[in-house]
Amino acid sequence: MWTTGEFSCVQLLARPVTSAFTTLKGVDERKSDDTPTTRRRPSGPPPDTRPSPAGPRRAEPSTGRGRRSALDRQILALAVPALGALVAEPLFVLVDSAVVGHLGTAQLAGLSLASTLLVTLVGLCVFLAYATTAAVARRLGAGQEREALQSGVDGLWLALGLGVALAAALWIAAPWAVGAMGGTGDVAGHAVVYLRWSALGLPGMLLVLASTGVLRGLQDTRTPLWVAAGGATLNAVLNVVLVYGAGLGIAGSGIGTAVAQLTMGAVLVAVVVRGARRRGAALRPAAGGIWATPGPASRSSSARCPCGWRSCSPCSSPPASARSRSRATRS
């Protein structure tokens, strides 16, 4: 029989052996669980790994990305032709400089003085294009096509009146304007000749600006581009024929530029007038012109807001006072 002291001594001696045996047993159990024979397999039939006869499925493009790409294409279709139409006046000056440069240094210097004045005047009148574009596009978005074309007609009348007034003033004040630019001697004489003959084309150039604004508001930027390309070609031909063929010198360059600008203006005005007649717009200038505010929407657009635009949150939602009264009635 073991005494109590002897039994305690045996337990103390056997404890390290017992703990080591327990550790080795746990390691063996974990190894046996990781073997392929004891690993659990998923229930159900095995997956079909055969390739599909229609080929791999492609991920469907998101509707948001497709919508953005379509919008980008529409923007490019409007922006690229509009950018090309803006180079009409610089192309005229470039062609005139190339042709007149062969006549002599004094002629080229006079052309430089006169073209600086002309380009500055045309640049100051560029508001005819942008104001007309905004007025036409605003009424077109409100469903008022006839009023949109009426705004375009008003812009044409404004451009015509302003162009005639500037042409007359420039013809009279050409010597003073050239003198203010520092022109003297033969240079001043050639500058005055070119400035006076080119000033006759100012009404046509301003009509080009206003007509281009109308067509942009109607989302047509290709027509101004083709007209600008045709006008630049006509200007180059007329300059060569009148300067060298007819022997008119620098005056022939100014006449050719004026004829090209007037032709461009007539073509674009004809396009706008044809559209105005098709939609029943009057060809007389309206009171208030292109700065008149758009009226209510036409009866054909019954789904539009009372303000004349498409359904918007301020018009479609009731005011705060009406909402509070409705909540009080329900309670």
- 161-180 confidence digits (pLDDT tens): 999 999 999 999 999 999 99
Q: Determine the pLDDT at residue 242.
A: 95
Q: What share of the chain is helix, strand, coil (3-state, %, to 5)?
A: 75, 0, 25
With respect to residue 71, please indicate whether it lies within any of the assigned structural domains.
no
With respect to residue 308, please indicate whether it lies within any of the assigned structural domains.
no
Mean pLDDT across the chain, nearest whole number? Answer: 77
User: Within 13 Å, how many C-alpha atoms sit on residue 76's CB side?
Assistant: 6
Section 219-246 average pLDDT: 92
With respect to residue 316, please indicate whether it lies within any of the assigned structural domains.
no
With respect to residue 199, please indicate whether it lies within any of the assigned structural domains.
yes
With respect to residue 174, please indicate whether it lies within any of the assigned structural domains.
yes
Distances (CA, A) of 150 to 227, 274, 275, 305, 310: 22, 12, 10, 22, 21
With respect to residue 107, please indicate whether it lies within any of the assigned structural domains.
yes
Distances (CA, A) of 321 to 245, 298, 325: 79, 29, 6
Model pLDDT for residues 98-126, shown as the tens digit of each residue: 899 899 999 999 999 999 999 899 999 99
With respect to residue 60, please indicate whether it lies within any of the assigned structural domains.
no
Residue pair 133/155 in contact by the 8 Å Cβ criterion: no
pLDDT band at 94 (very low <50, low <70, confident <90, very high): confident
What's the rounded Cα separation, in Å, for the pair 190 and 218?
Answer: 42
Q: Determine the pLDDT at residue 300.
A: 40
Its domain, for residue 250, covers 82-289
Share of the chain above pLDDT 90, in %: 44
Looking at the structure of the chain, the number of domains it has is: 1
Q: Determine the pLDDT at residue 45.
A: 59
- Containing 327, the helix (H) or strand (E) segment is helix 320-330
With respect to residue 165, please indicate whether it lies within any of the assigned structural domains.
yes
pTM of the predicted model as reported, rounded to 2 decimal places: 0.68
pLDDT band at 69 (very low <50, low <70, confident <90, very high): confident
